[in-house]
Structure 1
Amino acid sequence: MPINQSKSKILLNKVPQVTIFFWIIKVLCTTVGETFADFLNFNLGFGLSFTTIIMGIAFFIALFFQFRATKYVPSIYWITVVLISVFGTLVTDNLTDGMGVPLELSTAVFSVLLGLTFLFWYLSEKTLSIHSIYTRKREAFYWLTILFTFALGTAVGDLYSEQLGLGYLNTGIIVVIIIAIIYIAYKFFKLNGILAFWIAYILTRPLGASLGDYLSQTKVNGGLGLGTTITSVIFLIAILGIIVFLAVSKIDISTKRETTNTEQTNGSKKNVFIQTIVVLCVFLIVGIGGYTWRSNNLALETNVSQATLSGQLSDFVKIENDMFNDVSSNNFISAKNKANELEHQWDTSEPKLR
């Protein structure tokens, strides 16, 4: 590769260097994606559809400026990530809450869409490395991939933390353990770096969402009760602080180098292909096996006193009556909180009711 061309690719690369700051701000962005969407939807009363429209417009405006930029600009890039995290969350929430699409189906559909995006990206560009985002086509593939990772991560996180009743904290701990295993496999067992990166990137979505829900949700719902407002403000300030630091220090620009070699040997391609198949099989076995095991346990946990349908609905009836009393007394804040509690309890009890 000519020297001038190499320098051009380095200058035009639109994605930051993967450092510890990259992963910290990524988790913060995914946390905000969960809490800020709930803040607009519930606290400000915008509703799911209107919130989606607002955040969709904001995301596409940010994406427009991101595409216009000729190099990586921390402020533009990370604002786009924050907005796509909110928008991706809302896409799944609309399917689940607005259209009644089961989380199992959403997980399967977004998994297929993400897989197809990776496939077409690789067939077109012969690489999935984020260190080679220096053409419009690759950037389009990149942001489409990011959107599907957020939508998929939301579906998987909600499925296990809420519907299967694992809780936000337990779900977050499980995700951290899986990410640690992936890191060990990359560091000591020669797992392909690009494959390891994308697995970790996908998993940080349910990690950030679990963290956001754990901090913001009420103690009744298994959280710490900080609320979406406080949680969103804390993490937005943290994101802003890191963006300013990156813009001033340029630590994720000055250390960046073009590391991708698209002309891989047949042996290398075969090795990566085998690793990808093995990883997919492991996730399918663990994911489906864990889902089946947890669903069976939930069925066994049904109390004798709630053996009938009316018995299982009694808690929801009580919450609805409390909401009605709050509305009648103009206590709308309490009514909104109970509506949020009702949604959470319904999601948690769905497998038993089914």
Structure 2
Amino acid sequence: MNRLAFGLALVSLPLVYQAASRADDSTAPPAESPREHLQSSQLPWDRLDTLAVSGGGATLEEPPFYRVYDAVLDNANNVVFVVNGGDGELIRYDIASGQMSRIGRRGSGPGEFWPQLVEPSGPDSLLVYDRGRARFSVIPRSGDPGRSFNLHLVGGRGRQLVAMTRMGTRFWVAQSLGMPGELMRVDTPPGTKARDTAIVSEMTLGGGVSNTVTRVPHGEWERTADMTSFETIRDFYAGWATIASGGDRLFVATFAADSLEVSAYRVGDDVGGSSGYPVELAGLSHRGLRQLYASREGSLWVVEKTDDSTVLHVFGESGDTWARQGRLTFPGTARILDVSQDRVAFVHLDELDQEILVVARAAG
């Protein structure tokens, strides 16, 4: 989905949670309005003030989150919308009060127990994609019934949407073509490998393809030794793709086990008619990288997974270069969901592998 940036930092997640655990106390400070006059690259991301924490804990009184796929921050209303994939539901979470309400019935509506992706769709709606049904829904944030349309995927075996991003009135998808056809032939030798491909396209709000931006590697398939079947295995770490947008740019990233390549496309009238330019993220080790995200203002966050922690690297554009502006480190596993203005929403796995939703803002 979306975006971010900052200053030098090392933060311990338990300390962040200490600050957040008082969110429901009457003594907790009220949430300040976002600092809209600052660019995200100017924000003091060297530490975080936690606004809300939900999920985890040893009792059933804690709100359960599992398989949280996505989230959208609504800073103007002090709200975050969460896609809780385990129950196939959209949740409206009020940051100030901690109150939650479901949009639609559990197990029905846009989720239907399948993984979902969600993006803002104007000031009053959310654009939700149901991967299992290849269907988009435009859902009013009030929870009223919305409209749905199907995604017209191009050919390919096992095709699926792997990422989507929206900026303004335009949105893009990255679509996997699935298993290459040559692996399905009877005479294909065991051990034969072939790349999957992700096609990055701009879409219309009717589900049609407006234009194709680029094609990039997305995983690798291998024919197994069993010649009596068409059994294959897939190695995602051989290369996978994602997209993000912010700051009037579309970013296309290709990961591998020890590399990351990022290209940027300026969003003009016709992205498909332009060529991307490389984004060099100076000083970034390319091992253990798992996620790239862009703040809505255009800074880039890269997620690195080490043996026992997660590191969030933030880069901002300065002239013709991208400089690392800071680093946040969390114990265990963390995943960015959304970044807007001075706020970030992410999921953290606790020691019991329960998902904890955290909303924080740049401190200072």
Given the two structures, how large is their TM-score scaled by the length of structure 1?
0.20
Larger radius of gyration: 1
Given the two structures, how large is their TM-score scaled by the length of structure 2?
0.20
| Structure ranking higher in helix proportion | 1
| Structure ranking higher in strand proportion | 2
